[in-house]
Amino acid sequence: MLAFILRRLAQSVIVMLVVALIAFMVFRYVGDPIASMVGVDTRLEDQEIMRDRLGLNDPFYVQFGRFIGNAVRGEFGISYRLQQPVSQLILERLPATIELAFASALIALVFGVGLGVFTALKRGSWLSGFIMSASLVGVSLPTFLIGIGLIYIFAVELQWLPSFGRGQTVDLGFWRTGLLTESGLRSLILPAITLSLFQLTLIMRLVRAEMLEVMRTEYIRFARARGLSQRAIHFGHALKNTLVPVITITGLQLGSVIAFAIVTETVFQWPGVGSLFINSVQVVDVPVMAAYLMFIALVFVVINLLVDILYYVVDPRLRVDAAGGAK
């Protein structure tokens, strides 16, 4: 187990280095950093001095090494647009994105698994048929359209929920949370639903397919033949066996939820990392873009690692080489 985790950690480091290389190339070679920093009337000699002071004349690998060193310390330079350290900008906006992502992942997981199990067990009923058809909408409609639709219905027509922003937030020192105020919670509902809808339908269809598969297996028949209760069979024996693929997809989807919250954050004016990124793209704020790239890669790598560890927890067969030999 430990060897496995170490091996995966090593792989993760390699992945991060590759991403860092790409981020560095974007940072260094997309446009001229000096040109972005200075005005048009700066003299060429001054530009040259600046270039030298910033180390932009050093060999490639020295610059890359410096970039890595800074990145490890969480330093990605100063945002061109906002003239603040990039790491500080991202950290300020991270809580909003994390809260949104986890809220929608929670919705997707709870309803996805619940509805998936339901539609698998009540395969013939009209309600399952209805849910399955409705899920097609979730899969096929683009996120921004769903967001705009929800805003129109619940914010404009019914006026039940706010259409943009994060509401009031409470500063916990290291974390600005919107979960502790009523307006914050109300503001979270629409964007969280919007962001979750695609993952929800995906998880639901996956759970349903896996459940149908598992319900046909011999061990479920044997569990029935032993007279176990329906609940024990469906939720104990069947559901647990569907978990390995569900964990994989859910984990990767959680990464996507954070990464692709961009659209939802834009639609709902959510002050998260995604909207920071969009604003930075518009003005070619390269340090922010590079940092965002690194951040998203880190999220995916960490989640992948967690998913792999969860496999071990769920499926004892994978632990074979670790424990089986001793017994």
Binding site for another protein (CB under 8 A): 217-219, 221-230, 232, 236-237, 240-241, 314-317, 320, 324, 327
Burial of 13 (0-12, 13-18, 19+ CB in 10 A): exposed
Question: CB within 8 A of 248, min separation 6: which ones?
Answer: 307
**Minimum CB distance to another protein, residue 253 (Å):** 23
Between 189 and 244, name the residue whose CB sits nearer to another protein.
Answer: 244
Between 70 and 229, name the residue whose CB sits nearer to another protein.
Answer: 229
Q: Tokens for 264, please give them.
A: 């939802």
Is the separation of the CB atoms in 202 and 139 below 8 Å? yes
End-to-end Cα, the chain, rounded Å: 16
Q: Using CA atoms, how far apart are residues 99 and 101, in angstroms rounded to an integer?
A: 5
Between 66 and 224, name the residue whose CB sits nearer to another protein.
Answer: 224
User: Among 47, 205, 185, which Cα is nearest to 112's?
Assistant: 205
User: Among 290, 300, 323, which Cα is nearest to 24's?
Assistant: 290
**Minimum CB distance to another protein, residue 228 (Å):** 6
Q: Using CA atoms, how far apart are residues 289 and 79, in angstroms rounded to an integer?
A: 9
Q: What are the φ/ψ torsions at residue 73 (nearest 5 degrees)?
A: -80, 0
**Minimum CB distance to another protein, residue 216 (Å):** 9
Between 140 and 230, name the residue whose CB sits nearer to another protein.
Answer: 230
Between 66 and 221, name the residue whose CB sits nearer to another protein.
Answer: 221
Give residue 201's identity as a one-letter amino acid code: T
Between 4 and 164, name the residue whose CB sits nearer to another protein.
Answer: 4
User: Among 274, 291, 249, 242, which Cα is nearest to 117's?
Assistant: 242
**Minimum CB distance to another protein, residue 219 (Å):** 4
Between 39 and 227, name the residue whose CB sits nearer to another protein.
Answer: 227
**Minimum CB distance to another protein, residue 211 (Å):** 14
Q: Tokens for 104, please give them.
A: 């929608």
Residue 128 C-alpha from the chain's centroid: 29
Q: Using CA atoms, how far apart are residues 40 and 232, in angstroms rounded to an integer?
A: 73
Q: What are the φ/ψ torsions at residue 78 (nearest 5 degrees)?
A: -105, 135
Between 60 and 219, name the residue whose CB sits nearer to another protein.
Answer: 219
**Minimum CB distance to another protein, residue 152 (Å):** 44
Between 205 and 237, name the residue whose CB sits nearer to another protein.
Answer: 237
**Minimum CB distance to another protein, residue 133 (Å):** 23
Q: Using CA atoms, how far apart are residues 271 and 95, in angstroms rounded to an integer?
A: 9
The one-character DSSP state at 176 is: E
Give residue 174's identity as a one-letter amino acid code: F
Give residue 308's identity as a one-letter amino acid code: D
